[in-house]
Structure 1
Amino acid sequence: MSLNSNRSIAAHPNTVLRVFAAAIQAQHTVNFVGSPGVGKSTRLASLVRSWGLYFDSMTLTNMEPSDVLGNPTISPTTTMHDGSVHRVESTSFATPAWAIRLDYASRSGVAVQFVDEFSCGGAVHKAFLRVLSERVVAGTWLGPGAVFVTAMNPADEAVDGADLAPPTANRLIHLPWAFDADAWLQGLSVGFGNLHEPGLRDLTVDSYDNRVRMRAGVAGYLSANRAAISPGVPSNPVDAAGAWPSPRTWTILADVLGWIDPRNLDAILLAAVGTVGQGRAVAFLEFYGQFSLVDPIAVLAGRESVDWTGTRPDVLYAFCSSLAAIAVDRADAATWEAAMDVYAQAAHRPDVIVPAVRTLLSRTPRGARVPERLRSLLSSVAVAA
């Protein structure tokens, strides 16, 4: 994968596909950016439907804000905050038909709403802000499986297109549309609806331990680079219209990485570039290269050990956080004690183990015991406080 700028990223189609699949699993919005006529809409419909998911599409150029916010209607009653209904006339907003269909489908599984020509939204973008972040349409809370996917041409190639406003851009994972000539030729031959598409499970890693570990990796990087958490909106309007770091986008990245094969560095880098921008993505990948050398699952099982003196402190911090998260999730005394035994090996490194030890002490399973080697540390640094 070659990186030229925040708006010019060349990536292999398979890498883009894996990041997209991870975003669907994590239920975050991907915004595909590509030139007109390269088959974005057709391929996405074929791909998502092949996964057995609901797929519907709409075009922003044909929409008004009321198509998202709903049209006002007069109701003879008013529902209060406690659920009681009063016979007081009030105004409410009718939920658009597309949102009702999406809500129904998303209550039984993942359902994808595709929004095309997203750079031509104008006033509709404002209406979409709450939809993208909270999944609320005209007062209707969509089902838990609702996922949005958007696509757009670059602003200079779109009809009446414009760069996205920073609040909209910061809610999206920005991916380049990588035209797959082989898939297109096959679709042209057999029909795009008959393409043999890779399965969603084949493209992602469904492992809770992986999700915990990746989240701890992002937290570990940010713990040592706190200025990267929220540096503010980029001053360059072009950069502000794409991917840039904020607490929201770092959270999105942590969620998406949890579904990516931890050995696939190209996919990890592309996911990071699409959420927090190129500069921070490259720095994070450098950190991740060290973090990935320490596997908390293997350490817990006794198959690997930790170099407590030769490993970078930020990497050790992330490892300890990951270990604690796994022990808390499993919630059994054996795993809890095994994690504490690992920390006991590093009693001379309170700077990296104390936060994780505090976490475990707050969630001690019945019958679990603190290793003797940690007791003096607990007294000296008041871990239990």
Structure 2
Amino acid sequence: MTLHATSADRLADPAVPQLDVAAELLALLGDTTTEPRPDTQLEALTLAVAADLPVLLWGEPGIGKTAALTQLAESLDLPLTTVIASVHEPSDFSGLPVVGDDPAVQGVPMAPPDWAVRLVRAGRGLLFLDELSTAPPAVQAALLRLVLERRVGALTLPPGVRIVAAANPRSSAADGWELSAPLANRFVHLQWTHDHDVVVRGLGGTWPRTSLPRLDQRLLSDAVAYARRAVCGLLAARPALVHRLPNSETRRGGAWPSPRSWDMTLRLIAFATAAGASREVLSLLVRGTVGDGPGLELLASLDRLDLPDPETLLADPASAVLPERGDLRQAVLDGVVEAVRNRPDQSRWDAAWAVLVRALETGAPDLVVVPAATLAALRDDGWTVPAQIERLAGVVALSRQADLAAERTPVGAGR
């Protein structure tokens, strides 16, 4: 490969300073383009920032956490202020005492650091607390008030300031510490990973450009009602999930359920719903706030929250729209049978059979076997057998024959 003629001439010209040539080469390396590409991680981060919740990005060194924050700040048109938490003293966040003329009367004010003053003057910005896992416990304690109350010394950060932190796992952090449980429970924890294709294309000169999620103003009221119904419904059924402090120190430094983190989860569900976010984005946010176990339970309950009402299906079986997923379809059919059990009469019993026939026509036959057998057992002696039952009789009989054959087959046969 040959150098461009102009670059070769400049290199050969001893009158051209070498640093100028180096600057030209650096400019060429920085001359890149962008292309649209969805980014689930960045969408989750954007929604959490929009919800005015502190976010903590977990990832190995060099994974691109700072680059993501820079892109987010540019996209939101927010000035970025970076503070390396591990190189600061506790007083840098709680404020430095300044003795006045008459401290016995006026007290001793706590002077804030210059970066906090700049944020207050600007009225808006993105505060990036980097290297949080290398901050000693005394600094973490001083950060509690900043993260929760947004106070630094005597100053209160304005509503236009958002807080994002980054940390490396203790195994890869220089002199790392586990996060204290009170500090960890104030963050939305997002695991930050790299995408191989994005890195390769970016080094080749084309970096991704992500369209950030936008809130639909028409959906705000419904989004709030949906979020409240989802969280309150789960916690009413599972009271043990309201507060569960992990036993190990490592897990206490991550996401775990508490009244505070459930309140954050409710807010995130509302924002994700109003933005029409994907299931993947919602999963990252929910599991990053209350932990994997409770988060997955909430996601499962959200699936059932959107299931059709059994009474609606019984009122118009011919128009029944059943879920595609097998577990959700099974739950709907069980709900229809239970509705008939709670209020049995001939018309409702007939309508339930029509729903089962609809399920047989649009999905896997084996899903109707148990509901059909249960529904048949609910028949009153005076009820006539509907014609639809003939279409289900073969499926139930075939299932029973298969079960009997399985029982007759000796264990280990055919091996």
* Contact 2:185–2:260, Cα closer than 8 Å, also in 1: yes
Is the aligned partner of 1:150 residue 2:165?
yes
Q: 2:267 aligns with which of 247, 250, 255?
A: 255
Paired-residue identity, %? 32
Give the superposition deviation at 1:39.
Answer: 1.8
Letter in 1 for 2:69: L
* Contact 1:51–1:200, Cα closer than 8 Å, also in 2: no
* Contact 2:43–2:212, Cα closer than 8 Å, also in 1: no
Classify the secondary structure of the residue corresponding to 2:144.
helix
Inter-partner Cα distance in structure 2 for 1:41 and 1:163 = 21
Match of 1:339 in 2: none
* Contact 2:126–2:162, Cα closer than 8 Å, also in 1: yes
Matches within 5 A, 1:265-280: 265-280=279-294
TM-score by length of 1: 0.65
Cα distance 1:149–1:191, how it changes in 2: closer, same or farther (>3 A)? farther
Inter-partner Cα distance in structure 2 for 1:312 and 1:15 = 39
Match of 1:27 in 2: 52
Give the superposition deviation at 1:292.
Answer: 2.6
Give the superposition deviation at 1:23.
Answer: 0.4
Give the superposition deviation at 1:76.
Answer: 3.6
Match of 2:297 in 1: 283
Give the superposition deviation at 1:75.
Answer: 2.8
Give the superposition deviation at 1:240.
Answer: 0.9
Match of 2:130 in 1: 116
Q: 1:207-236, CA deviations, whole angstroms, 9 ceiling, x for partnerless residues?
A: 3121332233112211222221113x2111
Give the superposition deviation at 1:200.
Answer: 4.6
Cα distance 1:70–1:253, how it changes in 2: closer, same or farther (>3 A)? same
Gaps of 5+ in 2: 1-36, 310-319, 322-331, 339-415
Letter in 1 for 2:253: A
Is the aligned partner of 1:224 residue 2:241?
no
Q: 2:67 aligns with which of 42, 47, 50?
A: 42
Q: Would you tell me which structure has more helix in proportion to its own residues? A: 2
Cα distance 1:127–1:235, how it changes in 2: closer, same or farther (>3 A)? same
* Larger Cα-atom Rg: 2
Match of 1:93 in 2: 110
Q: 1:249-298, CA deviations, whole angstroms, 9 ceiling, x for partnerless residues?
A: 00011111211145622222221111111111111111110113469xxx
Cα distance 1:103–1:285, how it changes in 2: closer, same or farther (>3 A)? same
Inter-partner Cα distance in structure 1 for 2:84 and 2:111 = 20
Classify the secondary structure of the residue corresponding to 1:112.
strand
Cα distance 1:13–1:281, how it changes in 2: closer, same or farther (>3 A)? farther
Inter-partner Cα distance in structure 1 for 2:84 and 2:224 = 34
Inter-partner Cα distance in structure 2 for 1:294 and 1:57 = 48
Is the aligned partner of 1:213 residue 2:223?
no
Letter in 1 for 2:81: D
Give the superposition deviation at 1:312.
Answer: 12
Inter-partner Cα distance in structure 2 for 1:104 and 1:266 = 38
Is the aligned partner of 1:241 residue 2:266?
no
Classify the secondary structure of the residue corresponding to 2:209.
coil
Classify the secondary structure of the residue corresponding to 1:230.
coil
Give the superposition deviation at 1:173.
Answer: 0.8
* Contact 2:40–2:280, Cα closer than 8 Å, also in 1: yes
Letter in 1 for 2:182: P
Give the superposition deviation at 1:88.
Answer: 2.6
Moved more, 156-165 or 58-67: 58-67
Q: 1:17-62, CA deviations, whole angstroms, 9 ceiling, x for partnerless residues?
A: 2211110111101111111111211221122212212221111122
Letter in 2 for 1:102: L
Inter-partner Cα distance in structure 2 for 1:153 and 1:273 = 19
Cα distance 1:102–1:131, how it changes in 2: closer, same or farther (>3 A)? same
Matches within 5 A, 1:1-385: 14-76=39-101, 88-105=105-122, 107=123, 111-122=125-136, 123-185=138-200, 188=203, 196-201=209-214, 207-209=219-221, 210-231=223-244, 233-261=245-273, 264-293=278-307, 310=335
* Contact 1:57–1:116, Cα closer than 8 Å, also in 2: yes
Letter in 2 for 1:116: D
Superposition RMSD in Å: 3.1
Runs of 4+ in 1 over 3 A off after TM superposition: 180-192, 204-207, 309-313
What is the aligned residue count?
277
Inter-partner Cα distance in structure 1 for 2:181 and 2:58 = 16
Match of 1:344 in 2: none
